[in-house]
């Protein structure tokens, strides 16, 4: 039997590069069974008896993402002979988290510290001998890109495979956890296979059972496990999953400070020089502001807009001309087909006014999303994103928030679901909950169509609308942090935030395009599923109702079922300026997916007819709002609870129904208060006169100010600028 090597590592650690270097053209690309995640296998160059398998890029072995589940199942079930764990040497802290888990799988590991060329270029060094001792496994420094050290690494890995498992696990956890592991391992040892777990994997499973990992619990049953887990939980004072993660990070922290030798820089590198400006105390914030402004300005207002206009007016409108050839738009073609086939009016209505109108309205904004994702990917791979975290940490710290909260927020600008999940990196439970509650205030990709629609339809594409959505999002996070940190459950020290700034890199075109496409594609898929079904439902509910002849299609949507349902809810939104049934319905459907706000408007305002009169839907939309009410509609929809998928993620992360309710309730209150203040005070200062609403607006503003500036009872006031270490 040949040797099986599994490549495991974080995304972007260089796995693809190494895999190509190891296997050359001896590759077979397929899919993992049952899913669309790519599976790559190959034979080691010059060693036909050694096979190499490239596992999906992952940050941990928790069963939260598909990639993690695939990698974990492969390791536990297929039992490769050795794992080559690729570690980005310029980012040890983050990469070693996975390493500590791989070392517990009972499979020999070889740590391959990649990008050593960059580490050396910056004048730093990594003490491999110390790393080997601490991890208890062979380590090699390589540059996958240049091929340096790769063959030595392969030799080490093959030798490790031959020797078999030498040490299981690198981290020694605190006493209650280790006692739990010992008790569970002993119980596992008593079970005979196939129910039992072989020795090497017992530590892995014992830890997962302690973490209450559902997938592990479903796979193996240990008599008395509940008692053991409960005991450890009681001794540790709560949930063990975050406790275990915290202890891993503590181990990694001391490991990195022992192994990573930062050489005193004699010559300043280019990265250092850029950083002197970019992270400068005075300039950092304005630069950050300008960068974010440009990103939203370019993607929503300029570049993205003409593509979107083309999609809306051409592709999903009357048609467009291509090299002088007149191509009809989708509704025209489908409308013609339906007519030719003699379809029943309700079916044409469903297809044209429901599905095409709703889905088309959302798809129209995909180009803007792609531009946004592209620019975000460039920021990320260039290394600037890491600087933003560093800069915001300084600000967040003033308010007792951890800069670590920024990473989830950053991920959240793509999609709130992974954003919320990224909060796991925060060890401190209170900070983690706070981050889970506030991450979705960031405008995610799905909110972009809403922003773009309102900015285009009501504000004539004003330059400030889209960037304001981002900055109000950041402000919402900070203000919520200040408010919540003053309440007992959130009080306490700030999690330590140690971050190595990677050197700046010129982003690779392929990587950036791939990141853009992966995110964009998932939105297109969503448009073809959730949005499509929602649009059909909205069409049905708005076009059918009870008439004098009984139940049937109505002439006027105001007589439809939806108008009735929406009107009941609309009252609630009247103080925010959009108390119409259509706006209320759009807001509610936005809870299913935020794009639905646009999709619903598309159906209700007859998007499919746009083709005849140009931008009719936008005009119809604009005619239902004033500038002020449209902005408040935007405010509420952006900063109220997120979509169901993200609320689901919040529920999983909170792992407690009361906390989940509290989070959703807080978000609802936040969105409502913001929109109320702006609408009521905006109306008053716009010359609307003083009324009960104005009083409510002033009261809300007063309450907000009090929550922000009150002194937490029983705690000394902090001098400004001091970290909140003395609070709590």
Q: Binding residues for ligand GDP, per CB under 6 A?
A: 9, 11-17, 57, 114-115, 117-118, 143-145, 508, 511
Peptide bond into 194 cis (omega under 30): yes
Q: Which is nearer to ligand GDP, 15 or 651 (CB)?
A: 15
Alpha-carbon distance of 642 to 638, in angstroms, equals 8
Give the burial string for 183-192 (b: 16+ CB within 10 Å, else e): bbbebbeeee
Coil/strand/helix, residue 9: strand
Q: Which is nearer to ligand GDP, 11 or 648 (CB)?
A: 11
User: Which residue in 358, 313, 350, 356 sits closest to 585, CA to CA?
Assistant: 358
Q: How far is the CB of 153 from ligand GDP (least distance, A)?
A: 12
Q: Which is nearer to ligand GDP, 9 or 575 (CB)?
A: 9
Query: Residue 328 belongs to what H/E stretch?
Result: strand 325-328
As a residue count, the chain comes to 728
Q: How far is the CB of 97 from ligand GDP (least distance, A)?
A: 15
Q: How far is the CB of 31 from ligand GDP (least distance, A)?
A: 17
Coil/strand/helix, residue 186: helix
Q: Taken in order 311, 315, 317, 322, is the CA torsion positive or negative? A: positive
Q: Which is nearer to ligand GDP, 13 or 428 (CB)?
A: 13
Q: Which residues contact 576 (CB under 8 A, 6 or more apart)?
A: 629, 632, 633, 636, 672, 675, 676, 679
Gyration radius of the chain's alpha carbons: 28
Alpha-carbon distance of 468 to 466, in angstroms, equals 5
Q: How far is the CB of 249 from ligand GDP (least distance, A)?
A: 22
Q: Which is nearer to ligand GDP, 142 or 677 (CB)?
A: 142
Q: Which is nearer to ligand GDP, 28 or 644 (CB)?
A: 28
Q: Which is nearer to ligand GDP, 14 or 403 (CB)?
A: 14
Q: How far is the CB of 508 from ligand GDP (least distance, A)?
A: 4
Q: Which is nearer to ligand GDP, 55 or 181 (CB)?
A: 55
Q: How far is the CB of 381 from ligand GDP (least distance, A)?
A: 7
Q: How far is the CB of 567 from ligand GDP (least distance, A)?
A: 51
Tokens of 547: 């008439």
CB atoms within 10 A of CB 2: 12
Alpha-carbon distance of 200 to 684, in angstroms, equals 70
- Tell the burial category of 222 from Cβ atoms under 10 Å away from its Cβ (0-12, 13-18, 19+): buried
User: Are residues 436 and 423 in contact, defined by beta-carbon separation less than 8 angstroms?
Assistant: yes
Q: How far is the CB of 115 from ligand GDP (least distance, A)?
A: 4
Q: Which is nearer to ligand GDP, 150 or 700 (CB)?
A: 150
Q: How far is the CB of 18 from ligand GDP (least distance, A)?
A: 7
Alpha-carbon distance of 252 to 293, in angstroms, equals 36
Q: Which is nearer to ligand GDP, 13 or 368 (CB)?
A: 13
Q: Alpha helices, DSSP H only, in 191-329? A: 199-210, 214-219, 225-236, 240-259, 270-278, 284-296, 303-309
Q: How far is the CB of 33 from ligand GDP (least distance, A)?
A: 21
């Amino acid at each position: 039997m040949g040797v099986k090597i599994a490549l495991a590592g974080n995304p972007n650690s260089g796995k693809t590069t190494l895999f190509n270097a190891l296997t050359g053209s001896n590759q077979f690309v397929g899919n993992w069974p049952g899913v669309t995640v790519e599976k790559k296998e190959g034979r080691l160059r010059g060693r036909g008896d050694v096979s190499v398998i490239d596992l999906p890029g992952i940050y941990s072995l928790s069963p939260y993402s598909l990639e993690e589940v695939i990698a974990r199942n492969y390791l536990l079930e297929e039992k490769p002979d050795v794992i080559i764990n690729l570690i980005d040497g310029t980012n040890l802290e983050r990469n070693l988290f996975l390493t500590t888990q791989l070392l517990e799988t009972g499979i020999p590991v070889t740590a391959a510290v990649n990008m050593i060329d960059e580490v050396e270029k910056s004048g730093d060094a990594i003490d491999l001998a110390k790393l080997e001792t601490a991890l208890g496994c062979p380590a090699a420094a390589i540059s996958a890109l240049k091929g340096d050290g790769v063959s030595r690494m392969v030799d080490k890995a093959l030798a490790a495979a031959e020797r078999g498992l030498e040490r299981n696990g690198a981290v020694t956890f605190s006493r209650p956890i280790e006692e739990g592991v010992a008790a569970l391992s002993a119980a596992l040892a008593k079970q005979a296979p196939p129910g039992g777990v072989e020795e090497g994997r017992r530590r892995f499973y014992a830890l997962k059972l302690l973490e209450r990992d559902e997938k592990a619990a479903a796979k193996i049953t240990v008599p008395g496990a509940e008692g053991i887990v409960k005991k450890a939980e009681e001794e540790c004072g709560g949930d063990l999953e975050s406790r275990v993660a915290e202890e891993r990070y503590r181990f990694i922290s001391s490991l990195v400070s022992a192994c990573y030798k930062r050489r005193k820089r004699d010559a300043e590198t280019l990265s250092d020089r850029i950083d002197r400006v970019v992270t400068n105390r005075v300039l950092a914030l304005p630069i950050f502001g300008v960068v974010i402004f440009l990103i939203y300005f370019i993607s929503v207002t300029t570049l993205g807009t003409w593509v979107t206009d083309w999609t809306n007016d051409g592709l999903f409108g009357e048609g467009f001309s291509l090299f002088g050839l007149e191509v009809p738009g989708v509704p025209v073609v489908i409308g013609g087909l339906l007519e030719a086939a003699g379809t029943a009016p309700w079916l044409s209505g469903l297809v044209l006014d429901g599905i095409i109108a709703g889905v088309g309205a959302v798809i129209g904004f995909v180009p803007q999303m792609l531009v946004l994702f592209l620019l975000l990917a460039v920021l990320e791979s260039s290394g600037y994103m890491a600087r933003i975290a560093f800069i915001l940490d300084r600000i967040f710290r003033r308010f007792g928030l951890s800069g670590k909260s920024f990473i989830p927020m950053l991920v959240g600008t793509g999609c709130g679901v992974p954003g919320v999940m990224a909060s796991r990196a925060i060890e401190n439970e209170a900070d983690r909950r706070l981050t889970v509650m506030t991450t979705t205030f960031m405008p995610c990709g799905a909110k972009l169509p809403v922003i773009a629609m309102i900015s285009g339809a009501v504000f004539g594409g004003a330059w400030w609308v889209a960037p304001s959505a981002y900055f109000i999002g950041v402000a919402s996070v900070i203000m919520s942090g200040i408010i919540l940190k003053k309440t007992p459950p959130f009080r306490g020290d700030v999690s330590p935030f140690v971050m190595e700034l990677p050197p700046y890199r010129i982003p690779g075109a392929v990587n950036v395009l791939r990141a853009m496409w992966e995110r964009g594609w998932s939105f297109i898929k969503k448009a073809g599923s959730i949005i499509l079904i929602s649009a059909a439902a909205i069409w049905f509910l708005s076009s059918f109702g009870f008439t004098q002849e009984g139940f049937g299609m109505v002439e006027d949507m105001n007589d439809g079922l939806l108008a009735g349902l929406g009107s009941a809810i609309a009252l609630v939104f009247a103080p925010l300026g959009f108390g119409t049934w259509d706006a209320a319905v759009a807001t509610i459907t936005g809870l299913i997916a935020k794009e639905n706000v646009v999709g619903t408007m598309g159906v209700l305002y007859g998007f499919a007819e746009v083709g005849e009169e140009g931008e009719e839907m936008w005009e119809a939309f604009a005619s239902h709002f004033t500038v002020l009410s449209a902005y408040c509609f935007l405010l509420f929809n952006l900063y109220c609870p997120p979509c169901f998928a993200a609320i689901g993620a919040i529920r999983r992360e909170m792992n407690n129904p009361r906390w989940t309710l509290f989070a959703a309730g807080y978000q609802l209150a936040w969105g409502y208060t913001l929109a109320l203040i702006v609408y009521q005070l905006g109306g008053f200062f716009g010359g609307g006169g003083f009324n009960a609403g104005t009083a409510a607006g002033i009261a809300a503003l007063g309450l907000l100010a009090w929550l922000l500036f009150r002194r937490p009872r029983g705690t000394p006031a902090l001098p400004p600028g001091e970290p909140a270490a003395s609070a709590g």
